[in-house]
């Protein structure tokens, strides 16, 4: 059997270009018995029809492989050599239309290997040029040439796409309302015929571009976690944001909550623990869970249970005794939040500017020292420019942190300044999920000792 194999790198080339069509037409004119084709990179050796081709060769039913060029098979030298060895062992020829290759002879195998080496070299050269191009863009603080959905790149700046602004804002609202990636993506497809995978939609929501920042050196082909971006240039397009800091905190809270609950936040759940991840044991420092127990009277009581005590078969011990009921925890937490809100409201200095960080002060000192050097040479001038760039970056990060802290304080005062209003109205208007998100914003940890709460550490 004579098999022809065609390949192009991208779907766009297959749909809009003539390369794929021309390859297939030329192969069909070469009197082949069967045509196999793939759309994929030459560095990807797991292409569907390429694997099928190797399988047919191993079965001994292929006498000749026809391609336009050797690099249509693979850009990996080791893969090409393994394929040549397989074909030589099973009496299968490799016949490129645009090259003269005979792997049955020493000279032909050498030429085949050189062709593969050149292909591998070209792949590495292209990757190097791409990395250099991205580094140059990063040095200019330019936008990524492939912007996320909802954005255009105009003069190396992110600009909102006016055709999709309303759709993007509604997609964010749908996710915050539904609190589920799968549900949100189904609603979005029904409403706008916009296809998202749950992972792709999550990546889009977490993209710093939506909040006015430019990320660089993001990890490829992996689910984006909240800390996989190596560098972010802040406030590159603050007037072109889709996701406010407050909305981002809500999205992040929902994602983190869902990661630890695996569907327990569905409508079938009768009770949602508002303190997930916040309760800590005073004795061993481990996380404290909430246990449910139904009494004979029918009343359900909820109280703490240290994870260490629950895993004593692993050799872990905790000296703490007694349990703390959830009513005690709620009372202590509410009182701590109310006290903090009242103290912030009564102390105007809480809203004054935060002093500059040691990092910023150190950068200023270095810049001043270099500027004081008379007749500075180009190297010193370049060093000053680099330090000034770092100073602007540090100030941007500091401004964002300060803005977040000030917003947290304002929200805390707004919700908890009036104890009566909170206990009688606001608390009962919130859903269990909203209450959980609210506590997660303001609370770092709640330390439980026996029947009491001994510490409530806030994020402010």
Does the pLDDT value for residue 11 go beyond 50?
yes
Q: What is the pLDDT at residue 220?
A: 47
Q: Where are the domains of the chain?
A: 2-136, 140-261, 279-458
Indicate the helix (H) or strand (E) that contains 456.
strand 452-458
CA pair distance 158, 161, nearest whole angstrom: 9
Does the pLDDT value for residue 395 go beyond 70?
no
Q: DSSP state, 312?
A: G
Q: What is the pLDDT at residue 347?
A: 63
CA pair distance 329, 453, nearest whole angstrom: 6
Give the pair of three-digit tokens for residue 395.
């100030």
| β-pair type (157-160, 151-154) | antiparallel
Give the pair of three-digit tokens for residue 321.
């005794």
* 236-260 mean pLDDT: 84
More confident residue, 28 or 351: 28
E strand segments, 295-399: 300-306
Does the pLDDT value for residue 396 go beyond 60?
no
User: Highest mean pLDDT: which of 97-111, 172-186, 269-283, 375-389?
Assistant: 172-186
* Axis-axis angle for helices 245-261, 198-206 (nearest 10): 140
| Confidence bin at 2 (pLDDT 50/70/90) | very high
Q: Are 208 and 229 in contact (CB under 8 A)?
A: yes
Does the pLDDT value for residue 212 go beyond 70?
yes
With pLDDT > 90 as the criterion, what percentage of the chain qualifies?
19
Tally the C-alpha atoms within 13 A of residue 41's C-alpha that lie toward its C-beta.
Answer: 9
DSSP 16-47: H-SHHHHHHHHHHTTT-SEEEEEES-TT-TT-
Q: Are 109 and 103 in contact (CB under 8 A)?
A: yes
Check whether domain 2-136 has CATH 3.40.50.1390, yes or no: yes
CA pair distance 37, 28, nearest whole angstrom: 12
217: left (phi over 0), alpha (psi -120 to 50) or beta: left
Q: What is the pLDDT at residue 348?
A: 47
More confident residue, 196 or 436: 196
Does the pLDDT value for residue 443 go beyond 80?
yes
Q: What is the pTM of this model?
A: 0.45
Fold held by 140-261 = Hect, E3 ligase catalytic domain fold (3.90.1750)
Does the pLDDT value for residue 355 go beyond 80?
no
Query: Within a 10 A sphere around the Cβ of 7, how many other Cβ atoms?
Result: 26
Least confident of 228-232, 262-266, 389-393: 262-266
CA pair distance 331, 453, nearest whole angstrom: 9
* 61-79 mean pLDDT: 87
Q: What is the pLDDT at residue 153?
A: 92
Q: What is the 3-state secondary structure (H, E, C) of 252-280?
A: HHHHHHHHHHCCCCCCCCCCCCCCCCCEE
SS3 of residue 379 by DSSP: helix
With pLDDT > 70 as the criterion, what percentage of the chain qualifies?
84
* 91-107 mean pLDDT: 82
Indicate the helix (H) or strand (E) that contains 54.
helix 48-58
Q: What is the mean pLDDT of the chain?
A: 80
CA pair distance 32, 29, nearest whole angstrom: 8
Indicate the helix (H) or strand (E) that contains 231.
strand 229-233
Does the pLDDT value for residue 430 go beyond 80?
no
Least confident of 36-40, 162-166, 228-232: 228-232
């Amino acid at each position: 059997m004579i098999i022809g194999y065609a390949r192009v790198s991208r779907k766009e080339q297959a749909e809009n270009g003539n390369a794929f069509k021309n390859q297939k037409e030329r192969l069909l004119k070469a009197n082949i018995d069967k045509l196999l084709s793939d759309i994929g990179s030459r560095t990807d050796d797991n292409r569907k029809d390429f694997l099928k081709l190797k399988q047919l060769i191993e079965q001994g039913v292929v006498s000749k492989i026809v391609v336009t060029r050797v690099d249509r098979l693979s850009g990996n030298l080791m893969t090409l050599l393994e394929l040549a060895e397989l074909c030589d062992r099973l009496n299968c020829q490799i016949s490129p239309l645009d090259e003269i290759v005979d792997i049955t002879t020493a000279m032909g195998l050498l030429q085949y290997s050189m062709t593969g080496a050149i292909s591998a070299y070209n792949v590495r050269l292209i990757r190097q040029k791409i990395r250099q191009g991205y580094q140059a863009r990063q040095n200019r603080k330019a936008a990524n040439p492939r912007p996320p959905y909802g954005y255009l790149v105009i003069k190396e700046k992110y600009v909102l796409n006016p055709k999709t602004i309303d759709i993007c804002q509604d997609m964010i609202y749908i996710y915050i309302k539904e609190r589920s990636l799968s549900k949100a993506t189904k609603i979005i497809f029904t409403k706008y015929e916009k296809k998202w995978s749950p992972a792709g939609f999550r990546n889009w929501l977490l993209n710093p571009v939506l909040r006015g920042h430019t990320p660089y050196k993001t990890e490829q082909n992996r689910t984006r976690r909240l800390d996989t971006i190596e560098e972010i240039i802040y406030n590159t397009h603050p007037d072109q944001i889709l996701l406010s800091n407050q909305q981002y905190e809500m999205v992040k809270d929902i994602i983190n909550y869902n990661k630890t609950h695996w569907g327990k936040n569905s409508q079938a759940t009768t009770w949602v623990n508002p303190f997930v991840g916040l309760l800590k044991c005073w004795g061993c420092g481990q996380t404290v869970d909430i246990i449910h127990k139904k009494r004979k009277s029918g009343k359900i009581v909820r109280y703490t249970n240290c994870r260490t005590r629950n895993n004593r078969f692993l050799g872990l011990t905790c000296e703490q005794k007694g349990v703390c009921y959830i009513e005690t925890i709620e009372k202590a937490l509410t009182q701590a939040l109310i006290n903090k809100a009242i103290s912030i409201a009564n102390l105007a200095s809480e809203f004054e500017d935060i002093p500059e960080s040691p990092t910023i002060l150190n950068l200023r000192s270095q810049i001043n020292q270099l500027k004081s050097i008379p007749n500075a040479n180009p190297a010193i001038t370049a060093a000053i420019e680099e330090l000034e760039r770092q100073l602007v970056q540090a100030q941007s990060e500091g401004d964002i942190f300060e803005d977040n802290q000030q917003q947290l304080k304002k929200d805390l005062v707004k919700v908890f300044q009036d104890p009566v209003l909170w206990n009688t109205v606001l608390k009962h208007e919130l859903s269990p999920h909203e209450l959980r998100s609210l506590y997660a914003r303001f609370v770092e940890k709640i330390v439980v000792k026996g029947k009491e709460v001994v510490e409530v550490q806030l994020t402010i």
